[in-house]
Structure 1
Amino acid sequence: MEAMQLIPVHRTNMLMQTFNQPKFEIEAPVETIEAEIISSRRENKRLPFIEANTKEVTIQHLREECVVPVFSKDNEITISHPSFIEMVWEAANQVFPNERIEEPTIRVSHVIKGRTPEAIHKPVKDLLESDKTIYYERMMFCFEIPTIHEDIMGNRLNLTIGGVRAYNHENLYSKKGVEKFKVFIGFKNLVCCNMCVSTDGYKSELKVMSTADLFSSVMRLFQEYNIAKHLYYMSAYKDSYMTESQFAQFLGKSRLYQYLPVEQKKRLPQMLMTDTQIGIVAKSYYSDENFALPENQSAISMWNVYNLLTGANKSSYIDNFLDRSLNATQLTDGLNKALYGENEYSWFIQ
């Protein structure tokens, strides 16, 4: 990576921004972290950041027990899941050299099974474990930087970095070409493990040819992300409230949105939630342990609304999760502005 002209951004540089910043906390570093994945000391096992059709695995499992798919026409290897995780990890260590970075949590789905050449003609009942191969079509990971955090309405938010790889978005039946990745930097709400993703902290399609390209693109994303601005806007949600009537209107319009005539839908902001997820939001409005409508209250804070949306998003598949996370942020921001008279999202609450 000697050819890269990338200067690590230290936390003092990250915070010297012209934006009016909130006072979020950065703890004093314990030590400089080397660019290797360390073990976190989690006292309690947290809720998964995504639930639908996924299971948790280790990076050792991906390295040692999974094959790496190739482009079939030239047999060129793809960038593996572990290589992707390691490149993002190294970039995070360069941008945040003095912070404590926890080990990545990895979730996978859609296992692709195969056989070794020697086992091609064996009956299924005679297959040994050594005859089988697997890889995962979809993988998402994230790791927290708990020394950079903020508190909003009693909810601790840790800076969090992660990404998604979905081989179903690649044409593996062709020759090697650009490969696509999703990468984000944002915050995780530790109360519920909901992800908070902003526009400048997310790349929905990084197209790269090599791990060096991937590293360079990830570094650029981290350097452009405005931590203070993201926290400022999220913190503002706690001071805005949506009445029960407005919330009911939002739920109803969200269901209607799916069936609008094409031309009318084009004139409205994008809304990516499914009917099932809208139903989860409606149920959680009354029953969520942390973000339901407060007892004997007639209005709910936009911070709670935001977390109802990001909570419902945990039912998304891996390849749609981050796009819907960002959309939840955009939707909350738009609804918040609509409460103060702006027109763009007003259709959803009128």
Structure 2
Amino acid sequence: MEQAIPRAESHSNNVLPFTLREDARDATQLIIPSPSFGEEEESPFRETPEEQPRKPFIEANTKAVTLSHLQNDCITPVFSRDNEVTISHNQFIETMWECAQRMFRSCTVEEPEIRVSHIVKGRTPEAIHKAVKDLTDEDKTIYYERMMFCIEIPAITEVIDGCRLNLTVGGVRAYNQENLYSKKGFEKFKVFIGFKNMVCCNMCVATDGLAGEMRVTNTQELTAKITELIVSYNARRHLERMRALLDTSMSESQFAQMVGKARLYQFLPPAQRKQLPEFEFTDCHLNTIARAYYNDTAFACDRQREIDLWRVFNLFTGANKSSYIDSFLARSRNATVFTEGVAKALIGEPEYRWFVE
């Protein structure tokens, strides 16, 4: 196995965008922006933030909608056995937004950015017998099976290798993962806190920043569990681990070995695959990653065909934008865990060695 290529550039591990309030470390660990952050180094992406249209944080088959559209134009599904209403998409977003405003009350909390997919259409009872061509907007009903949103707190920010990262919270709701044909019980939500890379709007999610299945029965329980997640998230450690990816680089042959082994992963005998760490990306994602290795404007390899693991990580999070909403966050976390594992394998640790040897 080739030796990992050390990165020549130096960087500071001490520049962090926030401090923890002394009176809140054990109880709430509220994060507040450091007043001195940004005095020495200004990100080039701050100067003209409005000149370029913002890229979506997820693409696939999604479209952007507003909170008012969800509130005013969409119906809310019910559990068919008892006709109890579900927690609606807009209630979920409003709950998270209120939590963010309370937890980060010294900061500006931006409005939610919302993406939806899998529209479910219906008709009002009065329009059951109308021909399609005769239907009016008042005759139609819609809701979206899957919804994802994110809310930025731009005052809490850091620059890594020229990329500005803004603290971001958000969540996913997928009605296809609920049994709407039964009685009302626990409802499932996915909630995260992490950083958004403002160069490409890729989401950076750590293991302690994701609740992959939050089960609640009402918005009060949802508020409590969202608060618990935000309190337990260690933003400082997350940033340090992402910055550490700059310390290790791969050659072209090592990168090709990693991509090739990743393609083989799904075809391994089940017994052998169980012995390896989980890898959740598909061949379509790997095609995007391989193409971006040479052609991405921000994260491609250098002229010597070497690439540091920070850029590899961003190739994975960029490819993840083509995932469906309900699998997006799991792959976001897997991108973090996998890239960190490969970085360790390149310096001799065994857990992810199969992917690079």
Q: Quick one: which amino acid aligns to residue 120 of structure 1?
A: I
Out of 305, 308, 314, which is 1:298 matched to?
A: 305
Q: 2:69 aligns to what?
A: 61
2:225 matched to 1:217? yes
Out of 94, 102, 107, which is 2:102 matched to?
A: 94
Q: What is the aligned-residue RMSD (CA, Å)?
A: 2.0
Percentage identity across paired residues of the two chains: 58
Q: Judging changes above 3 Å, is the alpha-carbon distance between structure 1 residues 62 and 330 closer, same or farther for their aligned structure 2 residues? A: same
Q: Judging changes above 3 Å, is the alpha-carbon distance between structure 1 residues 42 and 218 closer, same or farther for their aligned structure 2 residues? A: farther
The offset of 1:42, in angstroms, is 5.3
Deviations 1:193-242 (A, max 9, x none): 00000000000000000000100000000000001000000000111111
- Segments of 4+ in structure 1 off by > 6 A? 14-18
Pairs within 5 Å for 1:118-137: 118-137=126-145
| Residue aligned with 2:279, SS | coil
| Residue aligned with 1:192, SS | coil
Q: Judging changes above 3 Å, is the alpha-carbon distance between structure 1 residues 294 and 204 closer, same or farther for their aligned structure 2 residues? A: same
The offset of 1:122, in angstroms, is 1.1
Q: 1:253 aligns to what?
A: 261
2:242 matched to 1:234? yes
2:329 matched to 1:322? yes
CA distance in 1, matches of 2:149, 2:183: 27
User: 2:174, 2:326 within 8 Å by CA — same for their partners in 1?
Assistant: yes
Q: Tell me the number of residue pairs that the alignment of Structure 1 and Structure 2 aligns.
A: 324
CA distance in 1, matches of 2:191, 2:54: 22
User: 1:11, 1:96 within 8 Å by CA — same for their partners in 2?
Assistant: no
The offset of 1:45, in angstroms, is 2.6
User: 2:341, 2:351 within 8 Å by CA — same for their partners in 1?
Assistant: yes
Pairs within 5 Å for 1:45-84: 45-84=53-92
2:20 matched to 1:12? yes
Q: 2:319 aligns to what?
A: 312
CA distance in 2, matches of 1:169, 1:99: 34
2:261 matched to 1:262? no
User: 2:57, 2:202 within 8 Å by CA — same for their partners in 1?
Assistant: yes
The offset of 1:123, in angstroms, is 1.4
Q: Quick one: which amino acid aligns to residue 344 of structure 1?
A: E
Q: 2:29 aligns to what?
A: none
| Residue aligned with 1:141, SS | strand
Q: TM-score, normalised by structure 2?
A: 0.88
| Residue aligned with 2:21, SS | helix
| Residue aligned with 1:272, SS | coil
2:154 matched to 1:175? no
CA distance in 1, matches of 2:23, 2:211: 21
| Residue aligned with 2:154, SS | strand
Out of 163, 174, 178, which is 1:166 matched to?
A: 174
User: 1:149, 1:157 within 8 Å by CA — same for their partners in 2?
Assistant: yes
User: 2:19, 2:33 within 8 Å by CA — same for their partners in 1?
Assistant: no
CA distance in 1, matches of 2:22, 2:94: 23
| Residue aligned with 1:247, SS | helix
Q: Judging changes above 3 Å, is the alpha-carbon distance between structure 1 residues 144 and 248 closer, same or farther for their aligned structure 2 residues? A: same
Q: Judging changes above 3 Å, is the alpha-carbon distance between structure 1 residues 112 and 65 closer, same or farther for their aligned structure 2 residues? A: same
The offset of 1:135, in angstroms, is 0.2
Q: 2:165 aligns to what?
A: 157
| Residue aligned with 2:69, SS | helix
User: 2:301, 2:307 within 8 Å by CA — same for their partners in 1?
Assistant: yes
Q: 2:41 aligns to what?
A: none
The offset of 1:26, in angstroms, is 3.7
CA distance in 1, matches of 2:51, 2:356: 42
Structure 2: 5+ residue runs without aligned partners? Answer: 1-17, 27-31, 38-48
Deviations 1:109-165 (A, max 9, x none): 000000001111111121111100000000000011010000000000000011000
User: 1:26, 1:147 within 8 Å by CA — same for their partners in 2?
Assistant: no
CA distance in 2, matches of 1:327, 1:125: 47
Q: Quick one: which amino acid aligns to residue 348 of structure 2?
A: G
Structure 1: 5+ residue runs without aligned partners? Answer: 1-9, 19-23, 30-40
| Residue aligned with 1:248, SS | helix
Q: Quick one: which amino acid aligns to residue 184 of structure 2?
A: K
Q: 2:350 aligns to what?
A: 343
Q: Judging changes above 3 Å, is the alpha-carbon distance between structure 1 residues 168 and 42 closer, same or farther for their aligned structure 2 residues? A: farther
Deviations 1:252-311 (A, max 9, x none): 00000010100000000000001000010000000000000012x132100000000000
Q: 1:38 aligns to what?
A: none
